[in-house]
Amino acid sequence: ASSEVPTLPLSDYVGFDQLPKQEVQKQLIAGFVFNILCVGETGLGKSTLMETLFNRKFNFTPSSNDHPLVKLRSNTFDLQEGHVKLKLTITETSGFGDQLNKEDSAAVILDYINKQYDAYLREEMKAKRDLQAYHDTRVHVCLYFVSPTGHSLKPIDLVTLKALDGQVNIVPLIAKSDTITKGDLQKFKARILSDLNDHGIRVCQFPTDEEEVSEVNAKLNALIPFAVVGGDEPLYSLGAKGGGGARTARGRQYPWGAVCVDDETHCDTAPLRAALLLHNTEHLRQVTRELHYENYRRRRLLELGFSEEDGLSLGELHERQRESLAAAMRSAKDAQHQLTLQRAGEIDAKVERDIAALVARKNAQEKRDAERAARLSAASRALDEEIAEFKRRQKQQQQKPPVSRSQRGGGSSSGGLFSSLK
């Protein structure tokens, strides 16, 4: 049997050809989300470029480079152009490049990107979720600002770009490109591309397989890295300074002339806006959603113990994880119980040993006391016998007949004495 699904003609109008319009209307009501991450050293004009791209002041707080670690500042704005609503989040680095350890700077930025993925994954795995109402903060594009040295990428650029490769859409920019001559700028672009290629760092390439945008995106890809200039100072055409009916353009005024940010012969700011906002916004959102986020999601679930062949729904994955955590808690509880029993047994054995030692000392003391009592008793009997013997002799002495005077005094004294001695 053939597995092909046949295409059937309709005999009359049904109406599902309006599905695209329904989807568009639904999305117009919900609005769109676009999140930009700006990475670069302090003073490269990140905030100014954002204001230039969106034609409005955002009043960002001035950045400081007095940070022991890289800081990231996020600002969210609700914008509307025609009937289209856009929730825009701009995140900028502060203090980037001021640390001795370049890996730490890259780690902070990568951690921020992963935290946004993780927050979405947690919302996605909730039993009761509302992804339509959830504010998606996943980074759709990272604008990497390269310092206009005119030489090559710095070590911190290579370390950071290598860490971000494969995690987010990277669009490299040469900041303040009006400080470099046109000839040097082209050489600088070539060196940057060479450095990226030598270190295997992939940057964003806008799609050329769609007929509507293939030609324009091919031209935009040829401009990478974009040489940008930010500025909102009004510029007036020659002969009409003062604004009397003159067409104005934005840019920067210098003693030697002016740089118009909207003039493609001056810089790539206008092509960058076209690449990000006019032609490829949905492409960047789609790649973030279907490639970078899915890669993170797969890695995270594998870390949690799931295999790629599980084929479980998010609810089932959540239930399995809950059961795994419950089993781990039971195992920990059993181990704690066994440890408690072991310690209790050790305490009981020690108590028994202590009691046995006390009994042994008591018995030894009782034996010594008994022996001492026996000695005292024997000594007491011997003393009693001596006293009795003394009394008996005393009594015998008292019972002898008394000696007469004549017996005491007869003869000479000496004779009496001798007589008594006899």
Assigned domain for 183 exists: yes
Assigned domain for 406 exists: no
Neighbouring CB atoms inside 10 A of 67's CB total: 15
Q: C-alpha distances in angstroms, 177 versus 51, 52, 149, 317? A: 17, 15, 10, 50
Instruction: Give 175's DSSP letter.
Output: T
Asked if residue 338 has pLDDT above 60, the reply is: yes
Q: What is the pLDDT of residue 132?
A: 82
Note whether 70 and 114 are same-domain residues: yes
- Confidence class for position 301, pLDDT limits 50, 70, 90: confident
Asked if residue 136 has pLDDT above 80, the reply is: yes
Chain Cα centroid distance, residue 292: 19
% of the chain at pLDDT higher than 70: 86
Cα 122 to Cα 100: distance, rounded to the nearest angstrom: 35
Buried/exposed 85-104: b ≥16 CB within 10 Å, e otherwise: bbbbbbbbbbbbbbbeebee
**Which has the minimum average pLDDT: 28-42, 119-133, 145-159?**
119-133
Q: Which amino acid is at 109?
A: I
Note whether 320 and 258 are same-domain residues: no
Asked if residue 404 has pLDDT above 80, the reply is: no
Asked if residue 2 has pLDDT above 60, the reply is: no
Furthest C-alpha separation in the chain: 187
Note whether 280 and 357 are same-domain residues: no
- Confidence class for position 130, pLDDT limits 50, 70, 90: confident
Q: What angle do CA 149, 74, 107 make, to 5 degrees?
A: 60
Q: How many structural domains comprise the chain?
A: 2
The answer to whether the bond into 225 is cis (omega within 30° of 0) is yes
Assigned domain for 9 exists: no
- Confidence class for position 256, pLDDT limits 50, 70, 90: confident
Note whether 298 and 325 are same-domain residues: no
Assigned domain for 347 exists: yes
Assigned domain for 289 exists: yes
Note whether 216 and 320 are same-domain residues: no
Q: Quick check: 184 and 212 in contact, CB under 8 A?
A: no
Assigned domain for 157 exists: yes
- Confidence class for position 16, pLDDT limits 50, 70, 90: confident
Q: What is the mean pLDDT of the chain?
A: 86
Q: Which residue has the higher pLDDT, 409 or 22?
A: 22
Expressed as residue numbers, the domain containing 342 is: 311-380
Q: What is the pLDDT of residue 406?
A: 63
Note whether 51 and 165 are same-domain residues: yes
Asked if residue 241 has pLDDT above 50, the reply is: no
Note whether 66 and 118 are same-domain residues: yes
Asked if residue 1 has pLDDT above 60, the reply is: no
Note whether 36 and 173 are same-domain residues: yes
The pLDDT tens digits for 66-82 are: 667 889 999 999 999 99
Q: What is the pLDDT of residue 417?
A: 42
Note whether 149 and 85 are same-domain residues: yes
Q: Which residue has the higher pLDDT, 205 or 130?
A: 205
Q: What is the pLDDT of residue 420?
A: 46
Note whether 293 and 349 are same-domain residues: no
CATH number at residue 101: 3.40.50.300
Q: Which amino acid is at 297?
A: R
Note whether 223 and 161 are same-domain residues: yes
Q: What is the pLDDT of residue 313?
A: 58
Q: What is the DSSP string of 225-271?
A: SEE-----EEEE-TT-TT-SS--EEEEEEETTEEEETT-TTT-SHHH
